[in-house]
Amino acid sequence: SSTRTIVIRSGQADVAELLTPKEYSSLKSAPGVKIPGAWGNRNIAVAMNFKAPPWDNPKLRRAIAHAIPYDDVMRNAFFGEARRWESVVPTTYPGFAKTKTQYSFDVGKAKQLLGEAGFPDGKGLDAFPSESFLLTYPQERDSWLQPIGTAIQSALQQIGIDIQLNPTPESQYVDRQLVKKDLQFTLIDSITPFGVDAGYALQLFFVSPDKSGINNIINYSSEAVDGLYYGKIFNESDDTKRNAALAEAQEQVMADVAWASVVEYKSFVATRDTISGITYHPDNQFRWFELKKTP
């Protein structure tokens, strides 16, 4: 990405994508460059596998949710181009509901929950395999995910949990995440449901795997969520009733900390100022045929 940043800045390229937030920020003042962006479905979450102890402990998951330094991540990793993610589906999607259950960075609360989980000041966690405390993410995006992981690592040390960062080649990461579903503790930046609907996002990630959950990477299972999805969401044509059920399901998922929602961030691309026609699409790819270049 550093090479792409150089060539767009120098005018050797008209379009550059997949830059880091820091690189996009550095280009905002570059002559002849513009950075179109849109709030879509980009986000960051910390996922804990429900089939992998100790992450099957709900109070431990809530402790983690209160130990994440949300403001530091927004400020230092996204340079102000992120916002708190206040549910588990994209804010821009029909059916999104801000949940009553929210988590803030609170060391005292995190320590209290850690003690209630049976691990005061982290004591007892060493009985679990060391792999349980590897925060895994794609190695190919290490340049910008690593600072986020480091911030989380430092914050968790404050409550007595030692984790190690585990950048992994994306081919292995995807195989373990989507096929084997055995990653235990994960920093994910790929929760981008292409279907623009909160119900689709819920089915994709949170309906139980044995009940047609499409991509339930954390082995989450909730009778309440399954019941809401098939009883009040899937075939409901009344938007008012459907949205009420969607809000209830999002509340349940958030309370269970199916994953710890961290931030949403903008989809960006860098272009020369002679380029127009950049349009946001939910697959986060622009269409070349839409672009125009002013001579």
pLDDT (average), residues 14-42:
94
> Which tens digits make up the pLDDT trace of 85-130?
999 999 999 999 999 999 999 999 999 999 999 999 999 999 999 9
Which pLDDT score is estimated for 191? Answer: 84
**3-state secondary structure at position 261:** strand
Which pLDDT score is estimated for 190? Answer: 79
pLDDT (average), residues 58-79:
95
pLDDT confidence bin for 80, thresholds 50/70/90: confident
Strand pairing report for 33-34 and 275-276: unpaired
Contact by Cβ (8 Å): 203, 229: yes
Which pLDDT score is estimated for 286? Answer: 85
Which pLDDT score is estimated for 212? Answer: 86
Contact by Cβ (8 Å): 40, 51: no
The number of beta carbons lying within 10 Å of the beta carbon of residue 282 is 16
Over the chain, what is the mean pLDDT? Answer: 95
The CA distance from 260 to 120, in Å, is: 21
Which pLDDT score is estimated for 55? Answer: 97
pLDDT (average), residues 194-207:
96
The CA distance from 150 to 123, in Å, is: 22
Tokens describing residue 152 = 């989380």
Which pLDDT score is estimated for 241? Answer: 98
> Per-residue pLDDT for 259 more than 90?
yes
> Tokens 């272009």 belong to which residue?
271
The CA distance from 115 to 250, in Å, is: 27
> Per-residue pLDDT for 56 more than 90?
yes
**Lowest-confidence pick of 61-70, 92-101, 189-198, 222-231:** 189-198
> Which tens digits make up the pLDDT trace of 131-147?
999 999 999 999 889 99
Which pLDDT score is estimated for 213? Answer: 87
User: How large a percentage of the chain has pLDDT more than 90?
Assistant: 93
Which pLDDT score is estimated for 295? Answer: 84
